[in-house]
Amino acid sequence: MQRFAEFIFAAAALAILLPGSAQATGPRVTTALFSPDKNEVHAVDFPPFVTEEVVDGGPISEIVRIALKRAKLDAVITTHPLKRMVRYYLLQEDALAVMGWHFQFSKEQRKQLIFVPISGLSEKFFYYKPAYPNGLNLNEAGNLKGKHYGAHKGEEKSYFAKAGAEVHFGRTITMLKKLRQGDLDFICAPPQSVEWLVDRYMPEEKGRFISTEAHAEHQVYFIVFNRKHPSGEVAAEKFKQALSAMVSDGTSAAISKKHFGDSDNGKMFLRRLETFK
């Protein structure tokens, strides 16, 4: 114990000389840190929709947080960098709920889950203009042969693989960087994400990531409640009612407008909310 105290004291004497600021081995202060008894809703970081980097956590986080509050469900949203983490907390630690898209659950796993759609997500195909100054035509399968396609994990990719494209996986920001480097030819992503990430990480490239005329399939972003959690089924029902009321009374639309304004991206975000009133 004496040796321990001496060592720590020596370490402190040196450390005290060092400047203090945010550290790579430092605290990350979130509301979840102060809420050990609250349930958690786990999600992968997905800017600008679900991320601690955007005011109020982004539009999907804000919609979910308000719906949870109106449903009197005591839960906080926690974001993670990897999908595996979200699956782990849901399936192995029986968390109340998770949020996400491009989920891949087995038939057996789906039996224990309750899917509640939160918003529609429209995706587009993007290419890097300096690499294709005359545009990139993806409407014909023949044009895909030999191309490098950047996809999200869990995304349906068989069409591209069959057409001879080489499929790579990654997060949107790293795929944008690979487009710029020429390692990828095209990617599929929500335009709001592309716009936000380019603004945040590569503003000098603004206007160089171009969406094609080819449209990707619409996706749905879900909150998934867990029947194995003691409150899972009741919470899902209460949440559905609260969310439905938010769509009807215009709260969801107001949140979308707050984050995306009246832009086309905002309208795309809300378009499919109508389908699950």
190-229 residues in contact with another protein (CB under 8 A) are: 201
Stretch that binds another protein, among 19-27, 94-102, 157-165, 228-236 (CB under 8 A): 19-27
Find the binder of another protein among 101, 142, 155, 171 (CB under 8 A).
171
DSSP 53-75: TSGGG-HHHHHHHHHHHHTT--E
Are 54 and 259 contacting, i.e. CB atoms less than 8 angstroms apart? yes
Q: How many CB atoms are closer than 10 A to CB 274?
A: 9
3 state DSSP class of 96: coil
Interaction of residue 4 with another protein, rule CB under 8 A: yes
For residue 70, which of 245, 190, 215 has the smallest C-alpha distance? 245
Residue 21 within binding range of another protein, rule CB under 8 A: yes
Structure tokens at 160: 């591209």
Shortest spacing between CB 170 and another protein, in angstroms: 6
Q: What is the DSSP letter of 217?
A: P
x/- mask, another protein, residues 77-116, rule CB under 8 A, reads ----xxxxx--x----------------------------
Q: Which of 26/203 has CB closer to another protein?
A: 26
13 touches another protein (CB under 8 A): yes
Residue placing its CB nearer to another protein in the complex, 35 or 263: 35
Options 102, 177, 267, 271; binder of another protein; rule CB under 8 A: 177
Q: Read off the amino acid at residue 45.
A: D
Residue from 167, 170, 214, 244 touching another protein (CB under 8 A): that is: 170
What phi, psi does 183 have (nearest 5°)?
A: -80, -20
Rule CB under 8 A: say whether 158 interacts with another protein. Answer: no
- Which is nearer to another protein, 147 or 171 (by Cβ)? 171
Distance CA 46, CA 174 (A): 13
2 binds another protein (CB under 8 A): no
Total residues contacting another protein by CB under 8 A comes to 51
Q: Does 266 bind another protein (CB under 8 A)?
A: no
Binding status of residue 163 toward another protein by CB under 8 A: no
Q: For residue 186, what are its two tokens?
A: 């095209």
Q: Can the peptide bond before residue 230 be classed as cis, meaning omega within 30 degrees of 0? A: no
Q: Report the DSSP beta bridge partners of residue 50.
A: 46
Segment near another protein (CB under 8 A); pick from 14-22, 94-102, 184-192, 219-227: 14-22
- The phi, psi pair for 150, rounded to 5°, reads -95, 120
For residues 49 and 198, give the distance between their C-alpha atoms in angstroms, rounded to a whole number. 15
Q: Which residues bind another protein (CB under 8 A)?
A: 1, 4-5, 7-9, 11-36, 45, 52-53, 55-57, 65, 81-85, 88, 170-171, 173-174, 177, 201
